[in-house]
Amino acid sequence: MSKVFIGVGHGGSDPGAVGNGMRESDVNLEMALAMKAELERHGVTVGISRTRDEDDRLAEEIRECNAFAPDLAVEVHNNSGGGDGFECYINGHDRIARQLAERIEEEVKQIGQNSRGVKVSTRLGWVNRVKAPAVLCEGFFLDSQDSAAADTAAKRGRFGQAYARGVLAQLGVQTQQTAQSPEREKVRKRFSLDESTMGFLDTYRFAQALYQRLAETK
């Protein structure tokens, strides 16, 4: 069974980038959890550096990742500085990491986000000290108009799902569509939810049980 480790940038006393009412540490976590759920839905064993807001030092993330011994490793970040678009960093020496970065990039472009490209870094600890093929994703800029790409939970979930699809493509796992149950359709109509929001809810591990409960609620 394939193993993937997700690093969740910042957290606790370190919020990371801040802009347009969002903290990077919170946004990173939302994307990472959506990614984790989608990978697990496809049978991938997933390790993750944190599942709530807490101090999450990079050195500890790297130690946890190497101890987990994953097949692939993805660090989730978002950007600041007034720019625009997604970008993905690799160390430049790992062919598999470059393939993974390019596959994630393609999935991100499919959800409507432009890309600044795959870039090489000799400084970033994650891509240079993790032993597995590793990439670091910067999804969007919090402090510019680019924030509109991820200004709702549903949009942030779509980023996480896109990252997961890129990972699945690298692993050679075919993406499975979520079953469109009657309860799901009833919930969508009852609460007037669009498909992007439903897609985010679909990543929840117990989505069908949630749909059934909401459908039965008076």
Catalytic residue IDs: 138
Residue in 33, 9, 36, 34 with CA at minimum distance from that of residue 23: 9
DSSP 175: P
- Judge whether 169 and 41 are in contact, CB under 8 Å: no
The encoded tokens of residue 134 equal: 């590793």
Distance of CA 119 to the CA centre of its chain: 18
3-state secondary structure of 212: helix
* Helical (H) or strand (E) element with 166: helix 153-171
3-state secondary structure of 148: helix
C-alpha to C-alpha distance for 200 and 89, rounded to whole angstroms: 26
Residue type, 153: A
Vertex 134: Cα angle to 129 and 136 (nearest 5): 100
